[in-house]
Amino acid sequence: MKEKPTQISQLILDSASKWGIEINSGSPLFTLFSVLILLGVCWLAFKITRRLFSGKIARLILATKATWDDELQRHHFFRRGAHLVPGVLLYVLCPLLFAHAPLLLALLQKLAFIYILLTTVMVMSAVLNTIEDIYDSSRLAQRVPITGFIQVGKLTLALIAIILIVSNLLEKSPVLIMSGLGAAAAILLLVFRDTILGFVAGVQIVANRMVNNGDWIELPKYGADGTVLELGLTTVKVRNWDNTISTVPTYALIGDSVKNWRGMQESGGRRIKRAINIDIQSVRFCDQDMLDNWEKIRFIKDYISEKKRELAKYNQDNSITEQDLLNARRLTNIGTFRAYMVRYLQNHPKINQDMTLMVRQLAPTELGLPLEIYCFSADKNWVNYEGIQSDIFDHLLAMLPSFGLRAYQRVSDRPPMQ
């Protein structure tokens, strides 16, 4: 039984008849005209919609005080949304033009469905990018990055689109397609191993606040030492201090040794922990002339006076004369220098006095007797910190001869340079 032409089909037949072209609704020429007309209408609708979004709507968006619509515009949300109009038109108008050609109708509707689906994925991707950018501009982003979750959302959209496309092409239920994935689960686990591990690691990292964007981290195994640029689903980008970029698997942050310097950056200072090796042969007791000279040093003037009174009282109480070198208590040059180091640091304007500050003597080694400084610089900037640390040790090394001490330096068999 011959199908009655639709109103649109009849309109095409009447227009062709006016031009002297005699065709019927079942002829190939009618089908060609219908395809050309349909594509022309869809193209025209796309051009009008795109111009509308690029013109008036764009100006209205830029005129508003809100920032979220500007972000949508920057990520081409409206331009991508314009592609939905021709896709929907193609899907709706096909039954009105090609009811006489079921195979062509099915093909065009499948293509229209795929086009709409892919456009929807692109539009939703723009929305997710907008959400990520707006969130990254907030303070919370430094504590809880969401890049990994945004990537999971995009991956989920892509998987759903693939399942629906395959379902549409095979004309099978999506549920049936998904149930068939169970047989391929082992293969999917192998293919998406890094993605799954990265997602699980990302959840743990965010939940425990282990690493955030902007943190300074060290991963010796991967040669990464620098600032976290991006905490993604499968990889973490680290800008090293030499400006190279290291890409590290996300799951490595919970599976390998990682040093995060965030605690230092959030604290009141950056630690200085370095020792001067003293030549043991230069260590000796102090005589009166040495004490008199050191008493002129501002930082230890009170210390010398107090120690002289303390030792004199001890020797007097125990009936020990100054000539009794074996039993008398006496100051040493290294102990006095250690006291000087402590007081010098306590009076240093760039050392945090509220944090641990000490000078300790470590066990002697074949390289001498280490005097280690342990304190915290109030300035945590790397360049300034290194400058403060260098200035401290410049001064202390220069003061060694004043206390009759020498820094240990290994003797070389090489002849001196001319």
Pick the closest to residue 239 from 266, 202, 212, 214 (CA basis): 214
Q: 162-170: long-range contacts (C-beta < 8 A, 24 or more apart)?
A: 164/117, 165/114, 165/117, 168/110, 168/113, 168/114, 169/110
Mean pLDDT of 214-227: 89
Span 110-157, pLDDT tens digits: 998 999 999 999 889 888 888 888 888 887 776 777 777 787 788 888
Q: Give pLDDT, residue 9.
A: 60
Partners of 270 in the β-ladder: 377
Q: Which amino acid is at 339?
A: A
- Stretch 178-190: mean pLDDT: 65
Q: Is the pLDDT of residue 418 over 50?
A: no
Q: Could you tell me if 170 and 113 are in contact, meaning their C-beta atoms sit under 8 angstroms apart?
A: no
Q: Taking 80 as the threshold, does the pLDDT of residue 323 lie above it?
A: no
Task: Kindly report which listed range (19-23, 193-197, 341-345) carries the lowest average pLDDT score.
Answer: 19-23
Instruction: Output the CA–CA distances (angstroms, integers) from residue 350 to 261, 297, 365, in the order listed.
Output: 20, 21, 31
Arithmetic mean of pLDDT, 11-24: 58
Over residues 374-390, mean pLDDT? 93
Say which residue, 390 or 9, is predicted with more confidence.
390
Please tell me the predicted confidence (pLDDT) of residue 233: 73
Helix axes 84-97, 102-136, angle to 10 degrees: 170
pLDDT at 283 over 50: yes
Residue 80's identity, in one-letter code, is: R
Which is more confident, 279 or 92? 279
Predicted confidence (pLDDT) at residue 363 exceeds the cutoff of 90: yes
Q: How confident is the model at residue 417 (pLDDT cuts 50, 70, 90)?
A: very low
- Average pLDDT over the chain, rounded to an integer: 81
Phi (first) and psi of residue 176, to 5 degrees? -65, -40
Contact 376, 355 (CB under 8 A): yes
Phi, psi torsion values for 226, nearest 5 degrees:
175, -155
| CA–CA distance, 67 with 244 (Å, rounded to integer) | 33
Least confident range of 9-18, 234-243, 251-260, 264-273: 9-18
Residue 30 has pLDDT above 60, yes or no: yes
* Confidence at 197, pLDDT banded by 50, 70, 90: confident
Q: Which residues pair with 249 in a beta bridge?
A: 235
The Cα angle at residue 223 between residues 220 and 224, in degrees rounded to 5: 90
CA distance 399 to 123: 69
Output the pLDDT for position 25.
55
Q: In terms of pLDDT, which residue wins out, 412 or 315?
A: 315
Q: Which of 115-129, 175-189, 373-387 has the lowest mean pLDDT?
A: 175-189
Flag whether pLDDT at 327 surpasses 70: no
Of 387 and 178, the one with more pLDDT: 387
210 pLDDT above the threshold of 90: no
What's the mean pLDDT in 62-88? 80
Predicted TM-score (pTM) of the model is 0.53
Sheet holding 224-231, edge to edge: 245-249, 235-240, 224-231, 216-219, 259-260
- Residues of the chain above pLDDT 90, percent: 26
Of 220 and 210, the structure prediction assigns the larger pLDDT to 220
What are the φ and ψ backbone dihedral angles of 215, each rounded to 5 degrees? Answer: -70, 150
User: What would the mean pLDDT of 355-369 be, rounded to a whole number?
Assistant: 94
Lowest-confidence segment of 114-123, 178-187, 370-379, 405-414 by average pLDDT:
178-187
Rounded Cα distance between 285 and 254, Å, is: 54
pLDDT at 7 over 60: no
| pLDDT score for 2 | 45
Output the CA angle 311-317-322, nearest 5 degrees: 50
